[in-house]
Structure 1
Amino acid sequence: MKLHEYQAKRVFAEAGIPTPDAELAETVDAAVDAAEAIGYPVAIKAQVQVGGRGKAGGIKLVDDAEEAREAAEDILGMDLKGYHVDRVLVEEAVDFTNELYVGVTMDRGEGKPVAMVSTRGGVDIEEVAAEDPDAIAREHVDPAFGMQPYQARKAVYDAGVDRKVANDVAGVLTTLYDLWAAKDGSDAEINPLMVTADDEVIAADAVMNIDGDALFRQPELAEMQEEAAEDDLEAKANDYGFDYVRLDGNVGIIGNGAGLVMTTLDLVDHYGGEPANFLDIGGGAKAERVTNALDMVFSDENVDAVVFNIFGGITRGDEVAQGINEALDAFDEIPKRVVVRLAGTKAEEGMEILNTDLVTVEKTLEDAVQRAVEYAEEDSQ
């Protein structure tokens, strides 16, 4: 479960992490009123759970009521990377001299939580990790003992944070770890953690993702779940009973098994494409279930082509193929080109059954992924 920025900041502020004054607004008038109450300059920020909001026009800094109204009119109702914006956070602008990054997640390779600090805040931390991994200081934590003060200080000093604010940053990192552990977090981060001219540190952004299987232990956060739902597609996935995660690419991916889907995602990336989603329809890929999966992927405006990676196990390949045919026949018009790879029990029979007027059939997963990537590139131009 992902919290919106305003929700995560509420949790952070209650724990003592400094955050800017802010109000949530759902209308243009409410946004202007909030800006007037907070005092200019303010930032007006789209509340959707996607990165790169600023570059996409979802964050605007304004200096007066006229600019606030114009910005709110532009942002409210906009489509931001496939997400409809129906709320904005009107927030006190921070006059900063530096931007830092702090975060906590699970390092599955080490089997331990890891706390991270970088002086290169305000940019995509994944890009920093790929281009200059040494720019991120890391400190692994024994969950039995929690983060110790010396560990927080070590991470901050290793990152090269100015000593004037090092103790305050270490305090924020310690609080962030404590929240992550207490709230059953999967990820928690502040990017950027801004440093002001007065050497104060303020969380200008907030990310907190919660382990959905632990929500029964987090009743206050569970109440935010419906409010924090990302979009109609995720709500639809819950209705259909699918494991679904929306991504930023344009190659739609459907598979019947988490391992198959993860392998397909990796291959799409390997062959130069960008996955649009993780969608595991589970076992028994009958016509209705396949139709629902296609309905979801076809509804994503970012998707330009779809790859099906289906393994016939308990459900035979010929039954899966018949389900795909029936599913596609249910559409008056197939809006995206679909590539199918079918393997496992009765796979050869299934390949013969598939209607090649409706789908492109490939014998290997590698060929199927490459073809889908090619289709996506062609149709995106």
Structure 2
Amino acid sequence: MKLHEYQARDLLAKNGVPVTAGRVAATPAEARKIAEELGGKVVVKAQIHAGGRGKGRLVEQAETAEMYQKLVSDPENYSGKVRGDRVGGVRLADTPEEAEQAAAAILGKYLVSIQTGPEGKLVKHVLVAEQTDIAKEYYLAAIIDGMQGCPLIMASAEGGQEIEVVAHRNPEAIVRMPVPPAAGYSPYIGRTLAARLGFTGDQADQFGRVVEGLYRTLMATDASLVEINPLALTTDGRVVAVDAKLNIDDNALFRQKELAAMRDLDEEDPLEVKAQQLGVANFIKLDGNIGCIVNGAGLAMATMDTIKLAGGEPANFLDIGTVNDPQRVVNAMKVILEDPAVKAILVNIFGGMARVDIIAQGVIEAHRQMKIDVPVVMRLVGTNLAEGEQLIQESGLPLIRANGLFEAAKKAVEAANAA
């Protein structure tokens, strides 16, 4: 689950990380009031679940796809800036009046950046924060490293830009420090990172406290990522977080009730939200036209690869899991059929603990409950296969059968192309 920048900043501050003063606003008038309280010179930042906001552009909904193509094909001439005639979703204001004007220009518009995709994101809130006189920008983040099985803190003296760009251009510029789970965080980690980034004296102490607060935030929130980019060294010698990003592990939301309430469903794909509400947790919408219902994440990935190998494009990733409930299959079909791009459905089940006959019952029940106008291709193998085959035969439904995965993918592609 992603949080907005203003929410991430509040959590960092709660755990001892210094952040620039500021608050969130939903109207231009609120933005003006906050700017007045902060002394007038502020930065107004669109709050959406996507990066690249400063270089993004604000347009009406009908113009998002066109602007996205312009940003991709000619970023030099179309990317936004914080000042000038091509301002984006992050704007500098020197007076409360300018802050109000900036908020009016941002709120209610669709922000398109490289990370939003062609649909863009509707801006409903802006963060109004004090301007910072920055002497140097740094990158700092904490993640859960699955390879090492522990938290990992990453830092770089090349902040204020996408860390992927830094990793590609100069991987040595990124310093990595694992935190042993048994020992936990120790101040030597912050001191080591400070020295590697060139901090000395009081600034090194400040940086160490920021690193400790970052780690504390990671652990307290069950986050998979806590990122500060940039972490600024100001002209008056302060080390302060200017931006913040925080992603929470969905599997931990049952014990993070307060954070779960911060979830902004409007920022998420409607189909993915509906899937979760129906108990289909492992669903990700894609851009193709062949819906997939598969048990097991590995098999789901292989199914999508095989569809592409057969010349088609998957419309979703859907791992139905080890399920022996026909209604879960019905719910999966409901979610897939909500996507108007879907022209065929491929059901690929390798029954182990999941029984083939239960999956067959689910597909049959889905046809009873809904009007299914797209062809359904089924490849079934495993536990209770004979019982499942009998149920399908007795149903009389016009299901397209396949024995192997590639055969199933070919038939799904053919059915989608013929639709």
Please give the range of the TM-score, normalised by the shorter of the 2 chains: 0.7 to 0.9
| 1:68 aligned to which of 89, 103, 116 | 103
Partner of 1:87: 125
**8 Å CA contact retained: 1:107, 1:114:** yes
Give the partner amino acid of 1:113: P
CA distance in 2, matches of 1:186, 1:157: 26
Q: Does 1:250 find its partner at 2:287?
A: yes
Distance 1:68 1:200, change over 3 A: same
Offset at 1:10? 0.7
**8 Å CA contact retained: 1:2, 1:208:** yes
Q: Structure 2: 5+ residue runs without aligned partners? A: 59-88
Instruction: Report the RMSD for the aligned CA atoms in angstroms.
Output: 4.6
Partner of 1:137: 175
**8 Å CA contact retained: 2:347, 2:378:** yes
**8 Å CA contact retained: 1:253, 1:276:** yes
CA distance in 1, matches of 2:313, 2:200: 41
Query: After alignment, is 126-135 or 139-148 more displaced?
Result: 126-135
1:224 aligns to what SS in structure 2? helix
CA distance in 2, matches of 1:288, 1:267: 27
Query: After alignment, is 32-41 or 197-206 more displaced?
Result: 32-41
CA distance in 1, matches of 2:412, 2:35: 50
Partner of 2:81: none
Partner of 1:196: 234
CA distance in 1, matches of 2:309, 2:19: 40
CA distance in 2, matches of 1:161, 1:333: 64
Offset at 1:101? 1.6
Give the partner amino acid of 2:18: P
Offset at 1:226? 2.7
**8 Å CA contact retained: 1:186, 1:209:** yes
CA distance in 1, matches of 2:262, 2:45: 20
Distance 1:60 1:184, change over 3 A: closer
Q: Does 1:173 find its partner at 2:230?
A: no
Distance 1:167 1:370, change over 3 A: farther
Query: After alignment, is 110-119 or 175-184 more displaced?
Result: 175-184
Give the partner amino acid of 2:90: K
Give the partner amino acid of 2:299: L
1:121 aligns to what SS in structure 2? coil
Partner of 1:379: none
Larger radius of gyration: 2
1:184-221, CA deviations, whole angstroms, 9 ceiling, x for partnerless residues? 3332221222333334332222233344555565xxx5
Query: After alignment, is 56-65 or 275-284 more displaced?
Result: 275-284
Q: Percent identity?
A: 38
Q: Structure 1: 5+ residue runs without aligned partners? A: 377-381
Q: Does 1:114 find its partner at 2:152?
A: yes
CA distance in 2, matches of 1:119, 1:339: 53
Partner of 2:349: 310
Partner of 1:260: 299
Distance 1:264 1:171, change over 3 A: farther
Query: After alignment, is 26-35 or 143-152 more displaced?
Result: 26-35
CA distance in 2, matches of 1:360, 1:32: 63
Partner of 1:224: 259
1:181 aligns to what SS in structure 2? helix
Partner of 1:368: 409
Q: Does 1:293 find its partner at 2:350?
A: no
Distance 1:121 1:290, change over 3 A: farther
1:13-53, CA deviations, whole angstroms, 9 ceiling, x for partnerless residues? 122212122222234443444445442342222233x3444
Matches within 5 A, 1:203-242: 203-214=241-252, 221-230=256-265, 231=268, 232-242=270-280
TM-score scaled by structure 2? Answer: 0.68
Query: After alignment, is 117-126 or 7-16 more displaced?
Result: 117-126
CA distance in 2, matches of 1:370, 1:136: 47
Partner of 1:157: 195
The number of equivalent residue pairs is 366
